[in-house]
Amino acid sequence: MAKFPSVLHSRNTYIERIKPFMRTPIVKVMIGHRRVGKSFILFQLIELINSEEQDANIIYINKEDIDFVDITSYQELHSYISARLVNDRRNYIFIDEIQEITDFKVAIRSFALDDNNDIYITGSNSEMFSSDLANELGGRYVEFRIYSLSYLEFLDFQSLPNDDDSLDKYFRFGGLPYLIHLPLDETVVMEYIRSVYSTIVLRDVVERKKIRNTAFLEQLIRFLANNIGSLFSSNSISNFLKSQQVKISPNQVSEYADSLAQAFVVHRIGRYDIVGKKFFEHSEKYFFENMGIRNVVAGYKPQDRAKRLENIVCNHLLFCGYEVKVGAIATEEIDFVCTRGGETLYVQVAVELSRPETIAREFGNLLKIKDNYPKIVVSGERSFENSYEGVEHIYIRDFLSSTLTPKIL
């Protein structure tokens, strides 16, 4: 049976998204990098089921627990679960870090054929949960992307007030849930984050993709961490690294960047022509899923404030359920074009708005978009006016606290 932690902090945004699919034969798939809190969401779901059904038949497997070390193939997975199924009522099946089981999709497909089986699985690599799983299950699954803690979740977990000092801690340490068990001391926290980063890179990138040139992989990660918010292509990264005496082909750059995105180390955000309504090929930005991991790699430097701000805004938009793109209109750039259902939102990010030329640029770019969808500028300062020619300005802490409340998807 599941080994519950003594304290469960609720992440209701995800629970509410999952609830409509509970007790259906649709497989619920939760993906995200290691230590992002997927196991705790499973625990919350188990707790919810137990509160509603005292005798619920819950079957739980955690591939990071030594108790389940012998389950390594789909045959062993099928045997273990089959022995614990009951025929006359619903079976709740929970499998954590399922990618450690070879050909797990074969067993999941078999169990999904029975409407009595309510299945929940988690994994730490998107490559294993995309087209292959869709083909195996024929559309009978729904995917939930689990992110690091949002700012408000971070405050809740840490019992912190909503003030600028807490915001600085969030920018510095990021939102790994386990930080609740550590003092928010920089030396202690960064040592823990460094260990999580090493585990993700080793197990979900190097081992899974059989990467041999680990020195280049580390250089690529450092390059991306130091160049958040810059537009790149595989060719441009390759050319830059050649100038630094690192010879690597554009194809290999692309493969390594793919592996980092698949392991959820980074978000790769494509560039989108707002007027032509199409993506530009070979042009994208990279943002880190967790700011603490980014800061472990690149350091927490004052001159990087603009990069951190843009990364945090991107992360919050994704947490809120938006599909995020980098926008282009003629020769101007829109930091983020965000869509969710039938909604569209345009977002510019600025560290400060004290100079007239900065104000004209950040608000002016948005004013060139000739539609009626909302447009906002998020900045790192509070003193600016609330709006400019109809475009709203939002201070970053207010943006993270009360704007764009995550929609139940």
54 and 155: one domain? Answer: no
Residue 58 lies in a domain: yes
Residue 191's domain comprises: 151-402
Tell me the pLDDT of the chain averaged across its residues. 91
237 and 324: one domain? Answer: yes
d(CA 250, CA 398): 41
30 and 137: one domain? Answer: yes
**Which residue has better confidence, 7 or 343?**
343
Tell if the pTM clears 0.85, that is, is over it.
yes
Residue 6: per-residue pLDDT: 58
What proportion of the chain, given as a percentage, has pLDDT over 70? 95
Last residue of a domain, one of 145, 170, 195: 145
Residue 132: per-residue pLDDT: 67
Last residue of a domain, one of 84, 119, 145: 145
**Which residue has better confidence, 127 or 341?**
341
49 and 170: one domain? Answer: no
CATH number of the CATH domain containing 92: 3.40.50.300
Instruction: State pLDDT tens for residues 137-156.
Output: 777 889 999 999 999 999 99
Q: What are phi and psi of 257, to 5 degrees?
A: -65, -40
Q: Three-class SS of residue 180?
A: helix
Q: Span 317-323, mean pLDDT? A: 95
Residue 405: per-residue pLDDT: 45
d(CA 202, CA 208): 8
Residue 137 lies in a domain: yes
120 and 164: one domain? Answer: no
Instruction: State pLDDT tens for residues 362-406.
Output: 999 999 999 999 999 999 988 887 788 889 999 999 999 965 644
255 and 118: one domain? Answer: no
Residue 324: per-residue pLDDT: 97
Q: Span 289-293, mean pLDDT? A: 97
Lowest mean pLDDT among 36-50, 116-130, 180-194, 311-325: 116-130
CA distances from 325 to 65, 267, 343 (A): 38, 11, 14
Dump the DSSP string for 120-170: EEEES-GGGGSHHHHHHHTT-EEEEE--SPPHHHHHHHHT--SSHHHHHHH
d(CA 295, CA 73): 37
Residue 6 lies in a domain: no
Last residue of a domain, one of 86, 118, 145: 145
Given 3-state DSSP classes, what are the helix, strand and coil percentages for the chain, each rounded to the nearest 5? 45, 20, 35
Residue 248: per-residue pLDDT: 84
Residue 404: per-residue pLDDT: 60
Length of the chain: 409
Residue 131: per-residue pLDDT: 59
Instruction: State pLDDT tens for residues 78-137.
Output: 999 999 999 989 999 999 999 899 999 999 999 999 999 999 999 987 766 665 677 777
Residue 5 lies in a domain: no
Residue 77 lies in a domain: yes
Residue 280 lies in a domain: yes
What's the total number of domains in the chain? 2
d(CA 236, CA 56): 55
111 and 234: one domain? Answer: no
Residue 2 lies in a domain: no
Instruction: State pLDDT tens for residues 208-245.
Output: 888 988 989 999 999 999 999 899 888 988 888 888 77
Q: Give the number of other CB atoms < 10 A from CB of residue 243.
A: 7
258 and 123: one domain? Answer: no
Instruction: State pLDDT tens for residues 166-177.
Output: 999 999 999 999
Band (pLDDT 50/70/90 cuts) for residue 7 is low
234 and 378: one domain? Answer: yes
115 and 161: one domain? Answer: no
140 and 157: one domain? Answer: no
What proportion of the chain, given as a percentage, has pLDDT over 90? 74
Angle at CA of residue 363, ends 361 and 369, nearest 5° = 105
Residue 4 lies in a domain: no
138 and 176: one domain? Answer: no
